[in-house]
Amino acid sequence: MANASVQANNFTVSGDHTTIAFATTSFSGRATFDYKAGQTHLSFTGDDIGAVDTEFAKLVTVTIGGEGDSGVSTVTLFVPTTTVPSAAETVTIETVAVLTEQRRRGPVHQHYKVLHLRGTARHTIF
């Protein structure tokens, strides 16, 4: 009997000196998000991760720094709807993440940098 295709729930992508790993669930039943850029390595779980489903992707956002006068910095990963042939296989994906720097001074309050990312999607059974 052939394996049925399944929805990917675990994504690892990298590019532009950044690696992001996102899983919609984990052993604890909560989403996880790992962000690595240069010497920065941040891990998030559950309510520290914001997710919004849109027509074109799930937008997954975490706060990666800043408070005070400089504002808040976030990264938003665009997670495409991805089907894998079986739980034992992976598929290659290309996507983007947007770094947003919120500034409290000056006429423009949001500054964006788009990261072009490539990696794999898989279905992990917990």
Topology annotation, domain 6-122: Lipocalin (2.40.128)
pLDDT, position 2: 54
11 φ, ψ (degrees, to nearest 5): -130, 130
Q: Which tokens is 94 given?
A: 């290309």
pLDDT, position 1: 42
pLDDT tens, residue by residue, 61-115: 999 987 655 678 999 999 999 999 988 899 999 999 999 998 877 888 889 999 9
Nearest to 75 by CA among 59, 46, 99, 93: 99
Domain ranges of the chain: 6-122
pTM above 0.95, yes or no: no
Span 7-28, mean pLDDT? 96
* DSSP code at position 94: E
